[in-house]
Amino acid sequence: MTLTVALAADHGGFDLKQQLLTWLQNQEYKVLDLGAHELNPSDDYSDFAQAVSQAVAQGQAERGILLCGSGVGTCVAANKVAVIRACLCHDTYSAHQGVEHVDMNVLCLGARVIGLELAKELITAFLKARFSGEERHRRRLKKVLSLEKGAGQGGI
């Protein structure tokens, strides 16, 4: 099955996103380019985090990739959307282990921190990885999902 990947960046990640878009389109993935479609120094990372997170949450894409200057803003914003598990990973171990153990579904990258070749390696590690499905990982993930449903605020 061809994996569909939603990709977006604010102005801080725009140039790197454009390079990664071309590269990803030449891989075995289907890519949804959710912007920015032109460099706008006034755009907001939260809008792109919302677009990618909704595409993943609504099943239009299996995975998401977000870029901003540091990767932090998009990561914070993406995690506000239910069922999104977004992580800022600048090492390849976390980029695949986050999927294998935690079912991470959105990778955030800081375009002012890393270069094109490392970004490609991180994305490859992220997209090739699969959730292990092991009991201990499912158990922990279930607890994380209960936090999303309000357990952390005195709910269930």
Which spans of this chain sit near ligand RB5 (rule: CB under 6 A)?
10, 12, 45, 68-70, 72-73
Chain-centroid distance, C-alpha 44: 17
Q: Check if 108 is active-site.
A: no
Phi, psi of 99 (to 5 degrees): -75, -45
Selected catalytic residue, list 37, 90, 101, 108: 101
Q: Which two tokens stand for residue 75?
A: 């990561």
* CB 48, min distance to ligand RB5, A: 9
Strand pairing partners for 148? none
Quick check: is 75 catalytic? no
Burial track 49-62 (b if 16+ CB lie within 10 A, e otherwise): bbbbbbbbbeeebb
Shortest Å, Cβ 119 to ligand RB5: 15
Catalytic position from the list 68, 75, 87, 108: 68
Nearer to ligand RB5, 74 or 129 (CB): 74
Catalytic residues: 68, 101
